Amino acid sequence: MSAAAAGLGVVALACVPLALGDYGLSLAINIVSYTVLATAWSLFSGPTRYVSLATVAFFGIGAYTTAVFAETLAWPLVLLIAAGIGIVVAGIVGLSTLRLSGVYFVIFTLGLAELVRQFVTWYEVNKTRTLGRYVFTDITAAQIYWQLLVLAVLVFVAGFLIGRSRLGLALRAIGDDETVARHSGIDATRAKVALFVLSTVFMTLTGAIMAPRWTYIDPAIAFNPVISFTVLIMALLGGVHRLYGPVMGVVPLALLFEFLLARFPNHFSIMVGLVFILIVYAIPQGIAGLVDRTMRRPA
């Protein structure tokens, strides 16, 4: 029943590009891409409570893969390469930091985007001798939207399946108390790394799919830290302990940011910072947490 409803909803969403103009479509692309990013983020950070600040590192890796290969290789192959690079980087980061306390992970991810950005800049300046790249493909905005929609469906299906699997149970146990989880025979490191890799694959693919939107990218655009920040704040507003939570943060905030960016372009980061602090203090459990509480109250 609910699966049928979800299917109908996806079909309705797939028709959106036919109904909207260019501006509406670009807003819709924005919302769907942040839905994928925020849901993927909370897929890992929700149950484990490891705050990842590296979303844009993977997003940027994806975008750059497209910029480098889109003109010479077939599109599915480009996506495959992007996912591959994302998996390798996530594996290295995960294996080296996730065995340790959560703070190390936060610090490492805080610098990861900067590190990758500097590395790409260094490579471009010294080896290819140009800093920017043009992305010329014949992919239309509507096609980007549909690809992102497919990715969104996949991330929800993945989240749903994980929630019902042994891995999901293990992760919830780790989030509650890692020491207890380890004593119950859970290989905590393996579970965390596996989920981290899975969540970053979605981020990398989002970046790869979004790259043709820009036509020109350089490291500062592809690895803009504001993207990591936006994803974090959207996921937190929505609530990370429910699969549907992040979406509820994405929609209002994407619209709000669109408005703020148009009205106060020079004070955008102050406004976003204030909104963020407000969320941390006022609704620590997110909108999904509020919904849970009001649902429970009458019973």
> Which lies closer to another protein via its Cβ, residue 119 or residue 136?
119
Question: Which residues does 272 contact at the CB level (< 8 Å), separation at least 6?
Answer: 226, 229, 230, 233, 257, 260
Shortest distance in whole angstroms from residue 56 CB to another protein: 13
Among 42, 66, 97, 199, binds another protein (CB under 8 A): 97
For another protein, the closer of residues 244 and 276 by Cβ is: 276
Smallest distance, Å, CB 30 to another protein?
Answer: 20
Which of 32, 79, 56, 52 minimizes the C-alpha distance to 196?
Answer: 52
Q: Does 53 bind another protein (CB under 8 A)?
A: yes
Q: How many residues bind another protein (CB under 8 A)?
A: 42
Which of 11-19, 160-168, 225-233, 291-299 is the region at the interface with another protein (rule: CB under 8 A)? Answer: 225-233
Options 21-29, 48-56, 129-137, 211-219: segment touching another protein (CB under 8 A): 48-56
**Interface pick for another protein out of 281, 282, 297, 298 (rule CB under 8 A):** 281
Any contact of residue 179 with another protein (CB under 8 A)? Answer: no
Q: Which stretch binds another protein (CB under 8 A): 17-25, 128-136, 188-196, 280-288?
A: 280-288
Q: In terms of CB distance, is 129 or 164 closer to another protein?
A: 129
* Amino acid sitting at position 278: L
Helix (H) and strand (E) counts in the chain: 15, 2
- Integer CA distances (angstroms), 71 to 92, 177, 207, in order: 29, 48, 16
217: helix, strand or coil = strand
* Residue 104 binds to another protein (criterion: CB under 8 A): yes
CB–CB of 270/277 below 8 Å?
no
Shortest distance, position 271 Cβ to another protein, whole Å: 8
- Regarding 232 and contact with another protein (CB under 8 A), the answer is yes
Instruction: Closer to another protein by CB, 118 or 165: give it.
Output: 118
Quick check: 83 and 91 in contact, CB under 8 A? no
Reported in sequence order, the residue ranges of the chain that DSSP labels E, i.e. its strands, are 133-134, 216-217
CA of 172: how far to CAs of 53, 122, 192, 198, 260, in Å?
Answer: 21, 41, 11, 16, 37
Q: Single out the residue of 276, 285, 291, 292 in contact with another protein (rule: CB under 8 A).
A: 276
Is 117 in contact with 61 (CB distance < 8 Å)? no
The residue type of 296 is R
Q: How far is CA 56 from CA 104, 165, 202, 208, in A?
A: 18, 28, 12, 12
By the rule CB under 8 A, 24 interacts with another protein: no
Sites of contact with another protein (CB under 8 A): 49, 51, 53, 96-97, 100-104, 106-108, 110-111, 114-115, 118-119, 121-122, 125-126, 225, 229, 232-233, 236, 266-274, 276-277, 280-281, 284
